[in-house]
A and B are shown apart, each in its own frame.
Chain A
Amino acid sequence: MSMRKVAVVGAGMTKFVRRAQETAKELSWQAAHMALESCEMTMDDIEAVCLGTAPDSFDGIHMNGEYLSDGAGAWRKPFMRSYVGGGTGVFVPIQGWYHVASGLFDVVLVVAEEKMSSYYPHAQAAFLTIFDHTTERPLKPNLLWIFALEMNRYMSTYGIRKEDIALVSVQHKRNAADHPCALLGDPNITVEDVLNSETLAWPVQRYDVSPVSDGAVALVLAAEHVTKRVTDKPVWIEGVGWNLDTAHWTNRDLAYPRYVEYAARQAYEMAGIKEPRKEIHIAEPYDPFDYKALHHLEGLQLADRGQAAQLYVDGVAARDGDMPVCPSGGLLGVGNPIAAAGLMKIAELFWQLRGEAGERQVPGQPKRGLAQAWGDLMQVGTVVIMGR
């Protein structure tokens, strides 16, 4: 394939909060503005805009992508909104990547936004119509059913203990305590706190779940010749992959996310990675629930099936471990404004690989990282590998 090299050259991020006073488009603008400033670019440099937001129903605005377009800098530019549910935040940089890799554009602004607090009383109600109208909806299902059923199957297939899964939530929330934009950072949280939190749908308890939030993240992507002009610390997008499993969530292998494996294999092949466990120095798997981080690490081939929790038990996943996992604090700690949360992971890799992650900096000058998200009807995997 003849594709051009593409780098991330700038990034910006708003705080992730429970309820932002800013409107959705103001949040988008704040992130976009910060990303442009970070690489000293202006809208004159931007040739196209890619926007990611998850379901319209979250913001409570139909055609939300178009509504947000001015805040994202789309005025009189080629503009496209992508949307693959929770996977959007790691898909929208893929969309930006092929805009540039194809040769169509040299510089692209990528923005991801979510303002979930508009929904009342709880954003979860936005999900009620994702279920099949004849076979499922009469049972009055809610989103937690899916995760509870999957988590139980995952735990019982491999004999994983809840206290080991809780370690994920603890580590991510502790990591988030060092993130200036985080909503739920907590340096003192313990496994007992997670295990004693309210049971929602067993085995899912309150602290197993990431918080709904408002926030936005933006990146500037550039072709190689522009990159060389604007920065001496480029972070290259080395591999991308995405894959969709069956639309019938009950027909999937609930213990193993095959769609994540296929997305990862596509990305590893593009990046020339043969041994991911040695070649990936930082992993930012999608962690809306603590067990999902483990599930995804296994799909990403970064742990054997049923063994990902051991990475946390042994300290491998710690910020100073051999393969730090979610040094950002992840969705569990930083917050989960859906599309923005995925793009936050890409921004984290950008800052980590440039050595600009401050208190969160992973030691040892990491060279390569991977970010992944998951979504649609719980069946899409999206993967981006970045390196310097």
Chain B
Amino acid sequence: MTLLERDPKAAPAWRGELPVTSRYTFGLAGERFFRAIQEEGRILGTRCDGCARTYVPGTIFCERCLGELDKWVDVGKVGEVHTYTLLYEAPDGSQRETPEIVAFVRLGDGGLVHRLGEVEPEALAIGMSVQAVFKPIAEREGSILDIVYFRPI
């Protein structure tokens, strides 16, 4: 046994209950992308014609040519399950009876990582079409969680 094995008096990074958090801005593109989700229930991307790519979520620049992107396009609410996983281990390390389902849903040339709902694990398939289910407009706050999940159509 060494001196420090989970020593309760080990030097803490801070004392007591001092809350440590970060206040991130959504950015110029994020402001537009999340306002469209909150106010219009729409998913927007940006288009680089030169590189023939539609970035989802939209960005203000193309990572390939570094050109400025100002052409916003509605990519619809329906995407394709590109891949998925069944989360059997909960964040606290315990095992779940029923796994949470997380997928990467392709929209345009990008997409969103999100939960899948209204579907059983056995019915999942890569390539299936899924649609974003939004919270009622009054409950939306400009967050990726304004989309509750994607469900098969």
Query: Which A residues are within 8 Å of any B CB, using their own CB?
Result: 21, 120-122, 133-136, 138-142, 144-145, 148-150, 152-153, 156, 198-204, 246-248, 250-251, 254
Chain A residue with the shortest CB-CB distance to B10:
A120
- Cα(A37)–Cα(B126), bound, Å: 54
B85→A202 contact, CB < 8 A: yes
B22→A250 contact, CB < 8 A: no
B84→A152 contact, CB < 8 A: yes
Residue B63 contacts which of A152, A202, A247, A254 (CB distance < 8 angstroms)? A247
A202→B86 contact, CB < 8 A: yes
A134→B24 contact, CB < 8 A: yes
**Segment of B66-74, B88-96, B130-138 engaged in the interface with chain A:** B88-96
B91→A251 contact, CB < 8 A: no
List the 9 closest A-B pairs by CB distance, nearest first: A148-B85, A153-B83, A202-B86, A133-B24, A199-B88, A200-B89, A149-B83, A201-B85, A21-B2
Interface residues on B, range: 35 or more
16 extra interchain contacts, Cβ-Cβ under 8 A, other than A145-B102, A149-B103? A134-B24, A134-B30, A138-B144, A138-B145, A145-B113, A149-B84, A199-B86, A199-B88, A200-B88, A201-B88, A202-B85, A202-B88, A246-B63, A250-B112, A251-B110, A254-B82
B112→A135 contact, CB < 8 A: yes
Residues from chain B with a CB closer than 8 A to the CB of A136 are 113, 144
Q: Report B97-137 residues with CB < 8 Å from chain A CB.
A: 99, 102-104, 109-115, 126
- Cα(A244)–Cα(B92), bound, Å: 33
Chain B residue with the shortest CB-CB distance to A199:
B88
Given A134-B30, A248-B110, is A142 in contact with B83 using a C-beta cutoff of 8 Å? Answer: no
Question: Closest approach, in angstroms, between the C-beta of A210 and any C-beta of chain B?
Answer: 17
Question: Closest approach, in angstroms, between the C-beta of B9 and any C-beta of chain A?
Answer: 14
Residues from chain A with a CB closer than 8 A to the CB of B22 are 133
- Cα(A149)–Cα(B109), bound, Å: 17
Question: Closest approach, in angstroms, between the C-beta of B149 and any C-beta of chain A?
Answer: 10
Residues from chain B with a CB closer than 8 A to the CB of A148 are 85, 87
A135→B144 contact, CB < 8 A: yes
- Cα(A198)–Cα(B95), bound, Å: 9
* Any A CB within 8 A of the CB of B6: yes
Residues from chain A with a CB closer than 8 A to the CB of B85 are 144-145, 148-149, 152, 201-204
Query: What would be 24 A-B contacts, judged by CB atoms less than 8 Å apart?
Result: A21-B2, A121-B93, A133-B22, A134-B24, A134-B26, A134-B30, A134-B143, A139-B145, A144-B85, A144-B89, A149-B83, A149-B103, A152-B85, A198-B89, A199-B88, A199-B89, A201-B85, A201-B87, A202-B86, A202-B99, A248-B63, A250-B104, A250-B110, A251-B110
Chain B residue with the shortest CB-CB distance to A157:
B126
Chain A residue with the shortest CB-CB distance to B3:
A21
- Cα(A27)–Cα(B12), bound, Å: 23
B82→A134 contact, CB < 8 A: no
Chain B residue with the shortest CB-CB distance to A248:
B110
A-contact 0/1 string along B22-62, CB 8 Å cutoff: 10101100100010000000000000000000000100000
- Cα(A222)–Cα(B57), bound, Å: 48
- Cα(A150)–Cα(B86), bound, Å: 13
Residues from chain B with a CB closer than 8 A to the CB of A198 are 88-89, 95
Question: Closest approach, in angstroms, between the C-beta of B50 and any C-beta of chain A?
Answer: 17
Question: Closest approach, in angstroms, between the C-beta of B40 and any C-beta of chain A?
Answer: 17
A134→B102 contact, CB < 8 A: no
Most buried by B among A134, A203, A204: A134
A139→B63 contact, CB < 8 A: no
A152→B126 contact, CB < 8 A: yes
- Cα(A153)–Cα(B102), bound, Å: 13
- Cα(A384)–Cα(B119), bound, Å: 46
Residues from chain B with a CB closer than 8 A to the CB of A145 are 85, 87, 102, 113
Question: Closest approach, in angstroms, between the C-beta of B108 and any C-beta of chain A?
Answer: 10
Question: Closest approach, in angstroms, between the C-beta of A236 and any C-beta of chain B?
Answer: 36
Residues from chain B with a CB closer than 8 A to the CB of A201 are 85-89
Most buried by A among B22, B87, B93: B87
Residues from chain B with a CB closer than 8 A to the CB of A150 are 83
A139→B83 contact, CB < 8 A: no
- Cα(A149)–Cα(B114), bound, Å: 12
- Cα(A134)–Cα(B88), bound, Å: 25
A149→B26 contact, CB < 8 A: no
- Cα(A135)–Cα(B86), bound, Å: 20
Chain B residue with the shortest CB-CB distance to A122:
B93
Residues from chain A with a CB closer than 8 A to the CB of B27 are 134
Residue B91 contacts which of A138, A142, A254 (CB distance < 8 angstroms)? A142
Most buried by A among B83, B102, B109: B83
A153→B126 contact, CB < 8 A: yes
Residue B6 contacts which of A120, A152, A203 (CB distance < 8 angstroms)? A120
Question: Closest approach, in angstroms, between the C-beta of B28 and any C-beta of chain A?
Answer: 12
Residue A139 contacts which of B6, B30, B88, B115 (CB distance < 8 angstroms)? B115
Chain A residue with the shortest CB-CB distance to B101:
A202
Residue A250 contacts which of B2, B87, B111, B126 (CB distance < 8 angstroms)? B111
